[in-house]
Amino acid sequence: MKVLGIETSCDETGIAVYDTVKGLLAHTLYSQIELHAEYGGVVPELASRDHIRRVTPLIDEVLQQSGCQKSDIEGIAYTAGPGLMGALMVGAAIGRTLAWTWNIPSIGVNHMEGHLLAPMLDSKQPSFPFLALLVSGGHSLIVDVKQVGDYEIIGESLDDAVGEAFDKTAKLLDLGYPGGPVISKLAETGDASAYKFPRPMTNRPGLDMSFSGLKTFVLNTWQDSDKSDTAKANIAAAFQEAIVDTLLIKCKRAIKQTSYPQLVMAGGVSANKQLREKLAEYSQANNLELFYPKTQFCTDNGAMIAYAGALRLMAGERDDSSFQVRPRWAISELNKIKV
Ligand code: KG4
Ligand code: ZN
């Protein structure tokens, strides 16, 4: 089955064609980073308007790249949530209209399920069940993944998501948007041991997390510093190390709790080099298999939506006649499907 995927939940327009026999045929992405950079974060109304401009030309481009005609597409998957209401509406409206016009089924995909399954776009795939660390701009979840659609959240952030903590910290330090890539780049030139940052919620049991206190710690540390470039780089390094250490401690606990031999990490923050290195070290030392998506599929993209949608369409799921998007939609609310 050939499925067209449409991702418009936030500030990236991602389009892809996934073939359940041949794999990913083509994908393309338009990032709105420049549009939002001057505001230090995503402006929802600007995001929606830009998605409207981009989606259809990108669909034409991807169809051409994939060598498919419109008539070859057998299903459409679009992100139905969680995300920004207006941005989701654009993808959903275009996806559903095309499906109706082309007389094929459509399915609204959960964005976090897309992230979670993104490592499956690779030839080396984890097998169920496994443990997943899902870290993005909006969510930080530790998930017991029993089967496609059968997800138990066993740990989550009680306040800021990890990516959000990177973004807010970058804004505080006047480093630009999005914060993850700029902080991790600056951290390479800094000395993390120059400051001692807390590892929030690691001194009590459990898998929940909290990251909002770290940005206050960054602010206080920056204000007490000599405000030099060296101080900024050292703070970036200490902040990143605190996040990575905290995530590692929580993953170790979750692995102990579940006894799963496979660990998957996904979502925008899984592109972080230090996080990958630390989890790889830990996995190797403990005989675990570690999986993460290719860097381009860590952050938002259409391929993961086409893939997750293809699984659900193949299992017989389809949109009903009601049109809805869900700005809030927990991954634990999804239906289990047989693959
Ligand atoms: O998954 P994603 O593209 O969008 C959401 O679903 O939220 O994640 C975006 C988040 C942003 O907060 C961004 O700062 C963060 O992922 N991010 C990173 C890195 N690349 C992107 N965080 C840390 N290190 C990175 N290299
Ligand atoms: Zn995302």
| Domain boundary assignment for the chain | 2-117+297-333, 127-292
pLDDT-derived band of residue 338, with 50, 70 and 90 as boundaries? confident
Among 138, 31, 133, 134, smallest CA distance to 84 is for 138
> Is domain 2-117+297-333 annotated with CATH 3.30.565.10?
no
Statement: residue 42 has pLDDT above 90: yes
Burial-class residue 168 by CB neighbours within 10 Å (0-12, 13-18, 19+): buried
pLDDT at 243: 98
Residue 103 alpha carbon to ligand 1 centre in Å: 36
Pocket probe for ligand 1: among 166, 274, 328, the residue whose CB has the most ligand atoms within 8 Å is 166
Give 213-247 pLDDT, tens digit per residue.
Answer: 999 999 999 999 999 999 999 999 999 999 999 99
* CATH no. for 127-292: 3.30.420.40
pLDDT at 296: 97
Statement: residue 339 has pLDDT above 90: no
Percent of the chain exceeding pLDDT 70 equals: 100
- Per the CB < 8 A criterion, the answer to whether 307 and 120 are in contact is yes
Statement: residue 172 has pLDDT above 90: yes
pLDDT at 155: 98
pLDDT-derived band of residue 248, with 50, 70 and 90 as boundaries? very high
Among 13, 9, 14, 12, smallest CA distance to 307 is for 14
- State if residue 114 touches ligand 1 by the CB under 6 angstroms criterion: no
Statement: residue 40 has pLDDT above 90: no
- Name the closest-CA residue to atom 18, ligand 1: 180
pLDDT-derived band of residue 78, with 50, 70 and 90 as boundaries? very high
Q: Which amino acid is at 317?
A: E
Residue 300 alpha carbon to ligand 2 centre in Å: 5
- State if residue 269 touches ligand 1 by the CB under 6 angstroms criterion: yes
127-292 and 2-117+297-333 share a CATH fold: yes
Statement: residue 159 has pLDDT above 90: yes
Strand ranges across the sheet with 12-19: 23-31, 12-19, 2-7, 75-81, 106-110
Give 119-143 pLDDT, tens digit per residue.
Answer: 999 999 999 999 999 999 999 999 9
pLDDT at 317: 98
Average pLDDT, the chain: 97
Statement: residue 22 has pLDDT above 90: yes
Mean pLDDT of 280-299: 98
- Per the CB < 8 A criterion, the answer to whether 121 and 42 are in contact is no
Q: Which amino acid is at 106?
A: S
Mean pLDDT of 51-62: 98
